[in-house]
Amino acid sequence: MATFNFKKREIECKIVYYGPGRCGKTTNLEYIFKTYKKQIAGEMVSIDTEGDRTLFFDFLPMGLGKIKGCDVKVQLYTVPGQVQYSSTRKLVLKEVDGLVFVADSLEVRREKNMLSLKDLHENLKSYGASIFKVPLVMQYNKRDLEEEGIPLMPIERMDQDLNRQLKAPCFSASAIKGQGVPQTITECLKLTLLNLQRQLKWAK
Amino acid sequence: MDPKDQIVSLLKEADLYQKQGLLNEAKERYKKATDIIKNNAGIKNGQELIASIVKKVVELNQKINTINQATSKPAVSDKKQDLIKKLFASSGEKKDGRHDLEGAIALAKFGQFDRALEEFERLLDDETVRVAAAKNIVRCHLESESPEDAAQSFERWVGDDRFSTAQLDKIRFFIEGRFRKLGFERELYQHEETVSEEDIEDLEMVSDSNEAVDTPGTDHGVESQPVVLEDMELPEEDEFLDINSVGIQLQTGVQKGRMIELDVSFQTGNSINLIVSSKESTLLGELEKGTELTDMQFFSPIAILNGSGVVTAKTQIKSGPKEGDYSLDITILTT
Ligand SMILES: Nc1nc2c(ncn2[C@@H]2O[C@H](COP(=O)(O)OP(=O)(O)OP(=O)(O)O)[C@@H](O)[C@H]2O)c(=O)[nH]1
Ligand SMILES: [Mg+2]
């Protein structure tokens, strides 16, 4: 849940990157960390295993500066995507204000995307939140692999699989090259801040 | 596709998946490639190719094993533990016992039990969170599969004058409940003073003057009363009381006002799930997704609580022995 400090006119919100194991959540954050030095408010902390799988979470604090007279701070997190880390995943999701669902475009990961979305749905429900209400942006990642002849799911199919009911804004991306990463986070921030404006009326 | 091309593209896929950490997917591609080679005797260097693939698969299996065997919540550095504490203690910026307690709970949830235990032990000094800290110490021991340590902690607290009898009672109830769930049989030693006849007379005197007992310093007698509701600190999330069943009052129909008791089939934090028989048609008619229940009773092993809840899901069970009945999710709002 976002905190809004009336006195300091400061709002802090939490955005979580969710998705199946190895889909590129950490890579998204790494790209943001590398590229937007000015908006980064501290170090990126990754709690991961040796094989660079996220174990607990990645954390990246951002400061967007003043928006409508209010100092906007954002905490970006990634969850561990691997199935066995389900309890940690749920902990990280707690009190989320906005979500990016990173889907893996690899054909071999099709089912894993769907399972992960379902897992997200369940976890939100357990916190009394709804996947239909929390601001959410879809990202279809690893599109660069198309050129290499690796079998990918067509965007339309991914939309069918994952976004038919949600109808969330979606972006193709190659997190490793940074393509689509800024668009994804920008849209997610926009939706999240608008939603918080409706609830908290933080802007003047 | 020409088998040779097929093999080339399978191996390329497998290599990529392996690099991306998609080990099972990689393995499967290697296997497919091997099958094709085996089925096409004409492929040049087929045997060598298979040998090199086998080597890769062996390496993959090793990696998969290491990953499967790794503990999911290993201890991390102090600095990272500090961060976990800071990020996941949500009660704002106020630096009080409650805040510290939340930080320590976060550590425990991330499996950092040693550090969490240290912090909970420290929090036993803080009257406002003492019982919660004690329960969490118990929880840490149970999570790390050492119920005996939990029992021994309790027995230490019995001789510790920071704890009042009422507080000890609460903790004992809590531990006994957990032990029962685990099927762990262990009596908790709680020192009880032997009572002489004179004492009994004294006791009567105390209860005689009970009405005037509110003055400070004479809370004798009050202490040993059974747990009362106002006394129950309201734990959050996992700390939520275990609810065995709930009572819901009918609002309509001929039986208006009748209390229906329903068993809780499972509970996560403040969210409970109930099965309602299709025979309870009046009740079912009153309960829809979003329905607020302002007058509910929650039966926990230690107390009956009055409170409210909201129906968050209602679905009819489509198959199995409970076919036709309804599964209801209720989020407990206040107790
Ligand atoms: N080709 C390509 N590879 C990518 C892309 N994004 C991520 N990867 C690779 O996919 C692998 C997994 O990426 P991570 O960012 O660690 O994935 P994750 O979602 O954080 O994984 P978990 O922490 O296990 O849940 C790494 O080898 C990345 O280099 C992409 O856009 N294109
Ligand atoms: Mg990661």
Give me the pLDDT at residue B308, please.
Answer: 87
Do B15 and B50 have their domain in common? Answer: yes
Structure tokens at A89: 């995943």
- Shortest CA distance from A86: residue in chain B: B72
**CATH number among 1.10.150.20, 1.10.10.10, 3.40.50.300, 3.20.20.210, domain A3-203:** 3.40.50.300
Lowest mean pLDDT among A75-89, B78-92, B226-240: B226-240
Lowest mean pLDDT among A128-137, B222-231, B313-322: B222-231
Give me the pLDDT at residue B91, please.
Answer: 57
Which of B137-146, B186-195, B217-226 holds the top average pLDDT? B137-146
The verdict on residue B182 lying in a domain is yes
Q: Which residues of A touch B311 (CB under 8 A)?
A: none
User: How far is the C-alpha of B63 from the C-alpha of B308, rounded, in Å?
Assistant: 50
pLDDT digits (tens, 9 = 90+) for A169-185: 999 999 999 999 999 99
User: If DSSP codes are grouped into helix, strand and coil, which group holds residue B58?
Assistant: helix
The verdict on residue B238 lying in a domain is no
Which of the four pLDDT bands, split at 50, 70 and 90, describes residue B33? Answer: very high
Do B128 and B150 have their domain in common? Answer: yes
User: How far is the C-alpha of A156 from the C-alpha of A153, rounded, in Å?
Assistant: 8
**In angstroms, what is the span from residue A134 Cα to ligand 1's centroid?**
25
Of A134, A152, A133, A132, nearest to A142 (Cα)? Answer: A152
A33-67 burial code (b ≥16 CB/10 A, e <16)? beeeeeebeeebbbbbbeeebbbbbbbbbbbbeee
pLDDT digits (tens, 9 = 90+) for B76-103: 999 999 999 999 986 556 678 888 998 9
Contact between A36 and A185 under an 8 Å Cβ cutoff? The reply is no
Q: Say if residue B267's pLDDT is above 80.
A: no
Q: Which atom of ligand 1 is nearest to the CA of A145?
A: 1
Do B266 and B222 have their domain in common? Answer: no
Give which of B27, B87, B143 to mutate to test A binding, by max A Cβ within 10 Å.
B87
Structure tokens at B316: 């009819």
Task: Determine which residue's CA is closest to atom 26 belonging to ligand 1.
Answer: B20
- Shortest CA distance from A125: residue in chain B: B312
User: If DSSP codes are grouped into helix, strand and coil, which group holds residue B63?
Assistant: helix
Q: How many CB atoms lie within 10 A of CB A84?
A: 13
What single-letter DSSP state applies at residue B19?
A: H
Give me the pLDDT at residue B303, please.
Answer: 67
Which of the four pLDDT bands, split at 50, 70 and 90, describes residue A15? Answer: very high
- Shortest CA distance from A24: residue in chain B: B20
Q: What is the mean pLDDT of residues B306-311?
A: 87
Residues within a 6 A CB radius of ligand 1: A 19, 21-27, 52-54, 78, 80-82, 141-142, 144-145, 174-176; B 20-21
Taking CA B225 as the corner, what is the angle to CA B219 and CA B230, rounded to the nearest 5 degrees? 90
Q: Contact B110/A94, CB-based, under 8 Å? A: no
Q: Contact B312/A125, CB-based, under 8 Å? A: yes
Q: Does B8 touch chain A (CB under 8 A)?
A: no
Q: Does A64 touch chain B (CB under 8 A)?
A: no
Range(s) of the domain holding residue B294: 245-334
The proportion of chain A whose per-residue pLDDT surpasses 70, expressed as a percent, equals 99
Three-state SS for chain A is: CCEEECCCCEEEEEEEEECCCCCCHHHHHHHHHHHCHHHECCCCEEEECCCCCEEEEEEEEEEEEEECCEEEEEEEEECCCCHHHHHHHHHHHCCCCEEEEEEECEHHHHHHHHHHHHHHHHHHHHCCCCCCCCCEEEEEECHHHHCCCCCECCHHHHHHHHCCCCCCCEEECECCCCECHHHHHHHHHHHHHHHHHHHHCCCC
Residue B309 makes CB contacts below 8 A (sequence gap 6+) with B246, B272, B292, B293, B296, B330, B331, B332, B333
Give me the pLDDT at residue A26, please.
Answer: 98
* Domain final residue, candidates B44, B69, B94: B69
Q: Mutation test of ligand 1: which of A22, A89, A113 has the most ligand atoms closer than 8 Å to its C-beta?
A: A22
Give me the pLDDT at residue B90, please.
Answer: 66
Query: Angle formed by the axes of helices B46-69 and B3-19, to 10°?
Result: 20
Do B189 and B254 have their domain in common? Answer: no
User: If DSSP codes are grouped into helix, strand and coil, which group holds residue B13?
Assistant: helix
Which of the four pLDDT bands, split at 50, 70 and 90, describes residue B221? Answer: very low
Q: Say if residue B123's pLDDT is above 50.
A: yes
Q: Which residues of B touch A87 (CB under 8 A)?
A: 72, 109
Of B272, B249, B140, B22, nearest to A108 (Cα)? Answer: B22
User: How far is the C-alpha of A118 from the C-alpha of A137, rounded, in Å?
Assistant: 15
Q: What is the mean pLDDT of residues A178-193?
A: 97
Q: Say if residue A201's pLDDT is above 90.
A: no
The verdict on residue B146 lying in a domain is yes
* Domain final residue, candidates B198, B232, B266: B232
Query: Positive or negative CA dihedral for B177, B182, B183, B185?
Result: negative
Q: Which residues of B touch A53 (CB under 8 A)?
A: 21, 67
Which of the four pLDDT bands, split at 50, 70 and 90, describes residue B217? Answer: very low
The verdict on residue B250 lying in a domain is yes
Q: Does B77 touch chain A (CB under 8 A)?
A: no
Do B330 and B200 have their domain in common? Answer: no
Do B86 and B196 have their domain in common? Answer: yes
Report domain extents, chain A: 3-203
Which of the four pLDDT bands, split at 50, 70 and 90, describes residue A1? Answer: low
* Domain final residue, candidates B69, B93, B121: B69
Do B221 and B259 have their domain in common? Answer: no
Of B314, B250, B324, B316, nearest to B282 (Cα)? Answer: B250
pTM of structure: 0.75
From the list B12, B16, B268, the residue facing A126 with the nearest CB is B268
Q: Higher pLDDT residue, B18 or B254?
A: B18
In chain A, residues 111-170 whose CB comes closer than 8 Å to chain B: 125-126, 128, 145, 148-151
Ligand nearest to the CA of A89: 1
pLDDT digits (tens, 9 = 90+) for A85-115: 998 999 999 999 999 999 999 999 999 999 9
Query: Angle formed by the axes of helices B147-158 and B130-143, to 10°?
Result: 150
Residue B224 pairs in a beta bridge with none
B46 burial level (CB within 10 Å; 0-12, 13-18, 19+): middle
Contact between B272 and B293 under an 8 Å Cβ cutoff? The reply is no
Do B172 and B198 have their domain in common? Answer: yes
Give which of B9, B78, B79, B88 to mutate to test A binding, by max A Cβ within 10 Å.
B88
Q: E strands, B118-258, where?
A: 245-249
Q: Does B86 touch chain A (CB under 8 A)?
A: no
Mean confidence (pLDDT) of chain B: 81
User: How far is the C-alpha of B106 from the C-alpha of B120, rounded, in Å?
Assistant: 11
Contact between A100 and A32 under an 8 Å Cβ cutoff? The reply is no
Query: How many structural domains are present in chain B?
Result: 3
Do B95 and B201 have their domain in common? Answer: yes
User: How far is the C-alpha of B176 from the C-alpha of B184, rounded, in Å?
Assistant: 9
Which of the four pLDDT bands, split at 50, 70 and 90, describes residue B259? Answer: confident
Contact between A102 and A23 under an 8 Å Cβ cutoff? The reply is yes
Rounded to two decimals, the ipTM of the complex is 0.93
Q: E strands, chain B, where?
A: 245-249, 259-268, 271-276, 292-299, 304-316, 326-334
